[in-house]
Amino acid sequence: MPERFTQLTSRTFVLPQESIDTDQIIPARFLTTTSREGLGAKAFYDWRYDASGKPIADQALNTLDTSEHRILVAGDNFGCGSSREHAPWALMDYGFRAVISTSIADIFNSNALKNGLLPIVVDKETHERLLADPGGRVGIDLEKSELTIGNAPPVKFSIEPFARRCLIEGVDPLGWLVDRIPAVEAFERTQGHAP
Amino acid sequence: MPREAPRTLLEKVWDAHMVTPESADAPGMLYVDLHLVHEVTSPQAFTELDARGLKVRRPDKTFATLDHSTPTAPADANGKRPYVTAEAEAQVATLERNCARHGVPLAGWDSDARGVVHVMAPELGLTQPGMVVVCGDSHTATHGAFGALAFGIGTSEVGHVLATQCLLQRKPKTMRVTVDGQLQPGVSAKDLTLAVIAAIGFGGGSGYVVEYAGEAIRALEMEGRMTLCNMSIEAGARAGMIAPDAKTIAYLRGRRYAPQGEAFERAAERWLALATEPGATFDKEVRIDGAAITPMATFGTTPDAAIPIGAAAPAPRTESERKALDYMGFTAGEATTHAPVSVVFVGSCTNGRLSDLRAAADVLRGRKVKSGVRMLVVPGSESVKRQAEAEGLDAVFTEAGAEWREPGCSMCIAMNGDVVPPGKLAVSTSNRNFEGRQGKGARTILASPATAAASAVTGVLTDPRMFARGPAHA
Ligand code: SF4
């Protein structure tokens, strides 16, 4: 069930690289887990640790105060690659609650929304403003679908309406589907899918 | 009644699976005919079901296998399998337990059908035209080769399908990629695939379902079509589809889970009627000249960064592209055919089928893998392994000095212990060349099975046409 999201004001953390794939977000060798907990320690692991497993000194991800920097600003085509939901689990456990980019891969986007990690797509100009000010203060208001960068006037963004409602009102998509099983049964009867 | 507007293949499959239509407030409920499950993306979904006291609603429409975390070296004399970690072994055991508890059929260690999920399901006839097929795996698009709507989902959605057989979905946009003309001799489905992804761009298919059409696509055999649809996600498209035709029908006839007898003939008629109707429109059209394609290989760290083998690596246009070229150790303006190759991998759900192994064996027959190169050949399934061994392909590989392994994902994702060492260059028939995909610090060139085999012989990235043996060996 997604963690609720209504408003967030926090500092950004900027990873300007394009096409950050889910293998970067969490390398495949950590996918042998059967739990979704504790993956933040593995987030961006191969960027954060050297071959011997020692933290890389000048890697900002190793020293970031994640209570202060909860908004990840990333280059175009963020979250491409595999469908592993471990990617949003790792990012949230690490401390992020929102990701902003000029485009976000489909499956990652859907996985993020299922967990309450808000994927926000902005235009190039807004993106450039965010890239130019790493650590800047950004306000996100999901109810108004508005993003406020510093003192500038807010920018609108759009989130699929049902996912938005799930996040704001705490609607649980699985429960919502389970409530509609009678419709599934009727469909199965008429369409020849009965067991 | 007014005549209905002509529909695309996608629209026909979509319309037939809408349990409740989408509205402004809510996505539609899309019914799933086949839910494929593997050990990596399912455990947390089963845990969620348990926490809510829910059952797998339609185990008869669910099918599981073991492929990602499984070792590709055989069990020892005591039957102990060489898992990379106890955690990997526990993950496999978790799926075995979950399937047993919920009555989900599992092609496990004792099954003659076990294999990489996207190799296994088609060869069993589980995948059929017109179906909606999902799996917690982004290469689920493979099954679109049969005219199914097949796409990858996350683990939360795996739970949704297990519990309700439905997904919440909005209708995607449509893109048609038409590949005209005939492929030249020595040019494979993988080369075509890499050329298509280069044309669309890494994220160019985002939000679309792609239909592949045109003379070069119709000429592909089913296994080649699977290679192409498999990598749709590498262009950002969640699904790729090809209209069923006589080849689709011939492939499915007699398969274990396909309809049999009279029922098959009736199904075949329905399947052939799925094709996009003349006059149906797409949100985007792309055209590619198939005759112009030559053997392709990637030079960067995204699958769209592909060029004809022997061509110069292009100058980077962005900082990210510059970093990628640096990571690979290539120089802009120079060919990528001089760097020493350390590892060659033939396998995966992209190129781990019988025709792929045949193409690699054709190059290797009577030749040797260059000393210092490690070559792994990993059949996509137990069935592929049996067929290859019946043809003596395993002997061709081992005599050439390559390793012949047990089926699984292996070095495609490198989570079972089969890894490319740090800094080493690999030529791989898999689908992702991301930084570290095949092991921390590994550098990956994506290419076809024939190219992989030719590169194993020479020790550098090599156009396989230099090893062509003429029509007698075709
Ligand atoms: S072979 Fe590779 S791409 Fe295919 S399912 Fe396995 S890990 Fe995924």
> What confidence score (pLDDT) does residue B469 get?
78
Give B429 Cα–ligand 1 centroid separation in angstroms.
11
Helix (H) or strand (E) holding A11: strand A7-15
For residue B323 the two structure tokens come to: 């970093």
Instruction: Please name the residue that has the structure tokens 């893998």.
Output: B369
Exposure string over B283-296, b if 16+ CB within 10 A, otherwise e: eeebebebeebbbb
Mean pLDDT of B377-404: 98
| Sheet containing B34-37: order of strands | B106-107, B62-65, B34-37, B132-135, B149-152
Task: Give the whole-angstrom CA distance, residue B87 versus residue B11.
Answer: 43
> What confidence score (pLDDT) does residue B473 get?
44
Per-residue pLDDT of chain A (195 residues; tens, 9 = 90+): 789 999 999 999 999 999 999 999 999 999 999 999 999 999 999 999 998 999 999 999 999 999 999 999 999 999 999 999 999 999 999 999 999 999 999 999 999 999 999 999 999 999 999 999 999 999 999 999 999 999 999 999 999 999 999 999 999 999 999 999 999 999 999 998 888
Q: Verify whether the Cβ–Cβ distance A51 to B441 is below 8 Å.
A: yes
Q: What is the CATH number of the domain that holds A17?
A: 3.20.19.10
In terms of Cα–Cα distance, which of B111, B114, B113, B142 is closest to B34? Answer: B142
B121 in contact with ligand 1, CB cutoff 6 A: no
A48 shares contact with chain B (CB less than 8 Å): no
Domain ranges within chain B, ordered by starting residue = 1-294, 295-465
User: What is the reported pTM?
Assistant: 0.96
Residue B2 has pLDDT above 80, yes or no: no
Judge whether A160 lies within some domain. Answer: yes
> Please, are residues A25 and A79 in contact by the beta-carbon 8 Å criterion?
yes
Contacts of A177 in chain B (CB under 8 A): 29, 160, 163-164, 166, 168
> What confidence score (pLDDT) does residue B472 get?
46
What is residue B12's three-state secondary structure?
A: helix
pLDDT in tens, B100-137: 999 999 999 999 999 999 999 999 999 999 999 999 99
Domain extent for A21: 7-190
DSSP state string for B398-442 = HHHT-EE--SS-GGGTT-SS--PPTT-EEEESSS---TTTTSTT-
- B4 — pLDDT class (breaks 50, 70, 90): confident
Mean pLDDT of B224-230: 98
Homologous superfamily (CATH) of B295-465 is: Aconitase, domain 3 (3.30.499.10)
Contacts of B320 in chain A (CB under 8 A): 17-19, 75
Distance from CA of A112 to the nearest CA of B (A): 9
Judge whether A195 lies within some domain. Answer: no
B284 beta partners: B175
A interface test, pick of B50, B156, B433 with most A CB neighbours within 10 Å: B156
pLDDT in tens, B20-73: 999 999 999 999 999 999 999 999 999 999 999 999 999 999 999 999 999 999
Contacts of A46 in chain B (CB under 8 A): 435-436, 440-441
* CA-based radius of gyration for chain A: 18
The one-letter code for the residue type at B336 is T
> What confidence score (pLDDT) does residue A123 get?
98
Task: Give the whole-angstrom CA distance, residue B299 versus residue B305.
Answer: 6
B119 in contact with ligand 1, CB cutoff 6 A: no
Q: Which value, to the nearest 10 degrees, does the dihedral of the CA atoms of residues B238, B242, B243, B248 take?
A: -120
B414 in contact with ligand 1, CB cutoff 6 A: no
Q: Verify whether the Cβ–Cβ distance B164 to A77 is below 8 Å.
A: no
Mean pLDDT of B181-194: 98
Percent of chain B surpassing pLDDT 90: 97
pLDDT in tens, B276-331: 999 999 999 999 999 999 999 999 999 999 999 999 999 999 999 999 999 999 99
Measure CB to CB from residue B138 to each of A17, A34, A82 and give the nearest one: A82
> Is the domain B1-294 a CATH 3.30.499.10 member?
yes
Comparison of pLDDT for B472 and A53, the residue scoring more: A53
Count of structural domains within chain A = 1
Residue B470 has pLDDT above 70, yes or no: no
